[in-house]
Structures are given as C-alpha cells and as structure tokens.
C-alpha cells in the first residue's frame, strides 16, 4: 500500500487515515521521499523534513485523542507567495532571499488548523509575475509531462508538484490566470474562488484588487474538500467578504441534466490552436451527452481584458513593490553611495526583469498626465467586462471555454516577446477582472509533436457559486479519466 499512496485521491487518503491503515507520519515520509527523488523538477524551494514530520506527529496525536476530519494528516505544499513561520518566504525572488516570516498567512493557518501537514514551499514566477515560471530567481520548474515545456505560471511549482504526484494538494494564487493556466499545462485541476472568498492576509501582494488564493489538486472533489477549510472571513483582510462558511462538497453529486452552459463566441475566434479547440469542443459535447444545454453567449468586451489588465495590475504592482527599497524591506546592496544610490542598487540587484518591467509600466500609468488617460479608463472598461459577465449569467449557469490558446510552449519560446507571453492569458483575464470563480480541468492532449502536452477546459460561475462550479467539474470527471492520468516518469 505504501508504494501507491501518491496515486490515491484525497478522499481515499482520508479514509486510510481514519481507519488507521496509514498514519500522517507515513504519508509525510512518503511524499518527502518523492520530493527528494524528483528534485530535478525544481518544484520545491524549501523543504524541512523535521518541521513536516513534527506537524505530522501532531496530526496523529490529534487523531489519537479522538479528533476526526477529512484533512487531518493530509500533506499540502504552499506556493512561495504565502508567508510561513517555519519555511522561508521569498516570493521566488532575490529581494526576499532567506526571509523568515514571524507569522503564517491566514490560508496557511486555516489549513493547519484543519490538520494539514506542510511539505514545503513551491517555486513560482518572481512575485507571482509571469505565465511560464521562467521568471523565478531560482530557476524554472519543469513540466512533468514534457521536460522541454514550461509548466505555466505563476503557480508552476504548485501545478508541477501535483501533476507529478509529489504533493496531493498545493496552494496557489491567481491574479490574471496563474492558477488556471499552469493547471491546464500540467493536466490537473486548478481552482480560483471568487475574489474576497479566501483571505489575502499573508499573501505577498502583487495586484491587490486581483490577487486570489486558490488550489491545485488532482480532482474537483479534492478541491471542494480543501476549499471548504481554506475560505472564510478574515478581519485582518480589508478585501475579505463577510459570508457564512460553506461546505463546497454539497453539489458534487448534483447531475448536470438541464444545466445551461454558456459558450462565448469570442473565445473561439482566431488564435486558438486547432488541437486545443478540438479537445475543448469534445468536452462540451461530453456535457451535452450528460444532459446539459449549450447556449451561445457573447462577452464583447472580453478582448479588451489584456490591455485593461496590463494597466491595472502593473499600477498596483508599482504601489505594492515600492516597499522593497533595501531600507525597510528586502535585499540591500553591499556596495553603494548615498541613500538614493543604495535604493537604486538594491532594487536593481533584488528584482528580476519581469518585476522591473511591470513596475516601470505601472509607475508610468500612475504618473501625472497619464493616470486619467490610462488607469481610470482601464477601470471603466473593467466595469464593462464585469457587467457583461453578470448579464451572461442571466442566460446560463456556467460559462465554458478554453483556458489558454495553446498547449504548453517550450522554454525560451516566448521569453523575448513579452506581449506574446501576455497573450497566453487571453481567456483567463476577463474572469479575473470580473472576480468570478473559475476552474481549469483537464480535457485532453495536443496532437502531433504536442501529443504529450495536456489541454484544459475552463469553467466559470457567478460570484459565490463555487459549490455549483465544482459540482459541474466533478460530473465531467466522473464521466472521463483525463484527471487520473499521470506522467509516466512519475507514476511509480
């Protein structure tokens, strides 16, 4: 049994723990061994077995004392954007190299309270800025399905760890698609809740009006269990929504017969690779065979999502990252002149190319004479996009379409062309700007030279309708086996 633990679902692992057929320490050791065996993926940045095993022993003691719970003793990896007391929190940057937080992020704290055991911190694009995980200061993460392909970003470490089954669950963050895109590229389930559902307290901020904590899991069912523990009102977070806590597993058994699935005509325009379109349309036909109704809808302003996002997000990035000046926070240059020179050198050394690019763009659009022309106008269009989503949900229950226009691309393929890289977020950014919950689920693979690279289906629901969204995803996964497939190099 011990040699196949990584192949089991979260629910199956929970049953083994409840029956005392396996202990939390057994699980922790199993996954720590797999992390060590597959260090070449570069998915983990900080692993401290003594901390993990201490948490596992504490979980076993809680269970021995009579406590129960689906998540008690289940291992989890945390994206290196969430601060943690017992593991370094670097945002995959040189600016925060070696930083040890005095507290845990609320998301980390809530999952620990539920009994989850931290395996370590996983790699990501620096300060969560990127679509390929090529921007990490500690090197790129490899895609478990194809080592020549990027795993997607910014949560590439989270997606690769789950896809390779070296962690059963990983936290992640999504600003413009950073959960859904890497989930699609790595063939797993990525869940972004409604903005404000999970707390942002203790997340190293990129764009405060967009950053959303979420999950990488094998299945929608696994996500529903963990999301139920992760979400909840947090008075420390001014953007946290004060709503009763929910059981997101409640709609998993709900059939999709009669479900109205909105298909935006703008999502199937020029630019999508034919193999991606075939896989996505095949998934839609599966839903039709299950009794769902496909309804054509229109999101005419969705095509403006990328220019809007790349005004709003860099503007907020410029504000948030201004604190890292070598005086109060972050790396300080050893050789410098006066104060101004120290700040310049510290930032030049501490930030990588992508954060620098976004800081410069953001500072420009917030500057005198350009604020009204760019930032205010972008916020107005953002409102139009949100209104179109609200209108669309009067005609359908969920919206479906591709996650990205292509399967995972190769390392270096888009690195010299930032605009081409930004276009990877074409289908994810509109939902982020509207703040709606979204999920990416695997629905097939590419063709020809890309036959080993997964394709993802994106599902979006109205605000606070996560339970229904995950139920719809789960019904597809009951009818298919794409999510159960494991890269051959990581099956054993």
Active site residue 79: yes
Which residue of the set 89, 131, 136, 154 is catalytic? 154
Contact 77, 119 (CB under 8 A): yes
- Contact between 456 and 480 under an 8 Å Cβ cutoff? The reply is no
Question: Hey, what are 124's tokens?
Answer: 């990501």
Cα(217)–Cα(250) distance, integer angstroms: 18
Query: For the chain, what is the largest distance between any 2 Cα atoms, rounded to a whole number of angstroms?
Result: 70
475: nearest Cα among 282, 196, 235, 287: 287
Task: Count the Cβ atoms, other than its own, within 10 Å of residue 243.
Answer: 13
Contact 199, 182 (CB under 8 A): no
Residue 191 CA to residue 173 CA, distance in Å, equals: 9
- Report CA-CA distances (Å) from 102 to 99, 105, 233, 287: 10, 10, 22, 47
At residue 35, what are phi and psi to the nearest 5 degrees?
A: -60, -45
What is the Cα gyration radius of the chain? Answer: 21
Element (H, E) at 456: strand 454-461
Residues 6+ apart with CB under 8 A from 198: 106, 107, 212, 213, 214, 227, 230, 231, 232
Distance, in Å, from the CA atom of 323 to the CA atom of 229, rounded to the nearest integer, reads: 32
One-character DSSP codes across 277-314: HHHHHHHHHHHHHTT-EEEEE--TTGGGHHHHHHHHHH
Does the annotation count 178 as an active-site position?
A: yes
Strand partners, 78: 121
With beta carbons less than 8 A apart as the criterion, state whether 153 and 130 touch. yes
Alpha-carbon distance of 399 to 405, in angstroms, equals 17
**Chain CA centroid to CA 188, Å:** 11
Cis peptide before 260 (omega within 30 of 0): no
Residue with tokens 């496909």: 294
**Ramachandran angles phi, psi of 82, nearest 5°:** -90, 130
The question of whether 452 is a catalytic residue gets the answer no
Question: Which residue among the candidates 89, 101, 136, 178 is catalytic per the annotation?
Answer: 178
CA-to-CA distance for 331 and 306, rounded, in angstroms?
32
The SS3 of residue 28 is helix
Contact 240, 233 (CB under 8 A): yes
Q: Where are the alpha helices (DSSP H) in 204-338?
A: 220-230, 274-289, 305-320
Catalytic center residues: 79, 154, 178
């Amino acid at each position: 049994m011990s040699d196949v633990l990584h192949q089991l679902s979260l629910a199956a692992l929970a049953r083994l723990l409840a029956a005392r057929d396996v202990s939390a320490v057994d699980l922790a050791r199993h996954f720590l061994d797999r992390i060590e065996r597959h260090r070449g993926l570069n998915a983990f940045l900080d692993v401290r077995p003594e901390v993990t095993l201490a948490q596992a022993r504490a979980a076993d003691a809680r269970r021995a004392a009579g406590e129960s719970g689906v998540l008690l003793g289940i291992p989890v990896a945390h994206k290196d954007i969430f601060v943690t007391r017992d593991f370094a929190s670097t945002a995959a940057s040189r600016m925060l190299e070696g930083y040890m937080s005095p507290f845990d992020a609320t998301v980390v704290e809530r999952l620990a309270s539920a009994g989850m055991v931290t395996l370590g911190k996983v790699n990501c694009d620096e300060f969560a800025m990127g679509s390929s995980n090529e921007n990490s200061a500690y090197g790129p993460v490899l895609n478990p399905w194809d080592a020549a392909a990027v795993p997607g970003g910014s949560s590439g470490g989270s997606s690769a760890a789950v896809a390779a089954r070296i962690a059963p669950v990983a936290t992640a963050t999504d600003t413009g698609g950073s959960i859904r895109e890497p989930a699609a590229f790595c063939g797993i389930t990525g869940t972004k809740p409604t903005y404000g559902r999970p707390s942002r307290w203790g997340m190293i901020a990129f764009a405060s009006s967009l950053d959303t904590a979420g999950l990488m899991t094998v299945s929608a069912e696994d996500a529903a269990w963990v999301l139920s523990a992760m979400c909840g009102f947090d008075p420390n977070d001014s953007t946290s929504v004060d709503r009763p806590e929910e059981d997101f597993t409640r709609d998993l058994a709900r059939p999709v017969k009669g479900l109205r699935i909105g298909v935006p005509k703008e999502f199937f325009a020029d630019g999508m690779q034919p193999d991606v379109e075939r896989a996505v349309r095949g998934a839609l036909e599966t839903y039709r065979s299950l009794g769902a109704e496909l309804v054509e809808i229109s999101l005419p302003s969705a095509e403006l999502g990328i220019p809007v996002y790349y005004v709003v997000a860099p503007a907020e990035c410029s504000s948030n990252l201004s604190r890292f000046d070598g005086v109060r926070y972050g790396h300080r240059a050893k050789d410098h002149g006066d104060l101004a020179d120290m700040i310049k050198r510290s930032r030049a050394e501490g930030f990588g190319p992508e954060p620098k690019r976004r800081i410069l763009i953001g500072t420009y659009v917030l500057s005198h004479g350009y604020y009204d022309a760019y930032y205010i106008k972008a916020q107005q269009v953002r409102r139009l996009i949100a209104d179109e989503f609200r209108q669309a949900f009067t005609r359908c229950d969920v919206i479906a379409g591709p996650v990205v226009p292509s399967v995972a691309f190769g390392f270096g393929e888009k690195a010299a062309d930032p605009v081409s890289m930004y276009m990877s977020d074409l289908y994810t950014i509109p939902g982020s700007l509207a703040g709606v919950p979204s999920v990416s689920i695997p629905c097939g693979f590419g063709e020809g030279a890309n036959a080993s690279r997964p394709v993802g289906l994106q599902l979006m629901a109205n605000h606070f309708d996560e339970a229904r969204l995950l139920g719809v995803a789960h019904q597809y996964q009951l009818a298919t086996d794409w999510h159960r497939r494991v890269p051959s190099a990581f099956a054993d």
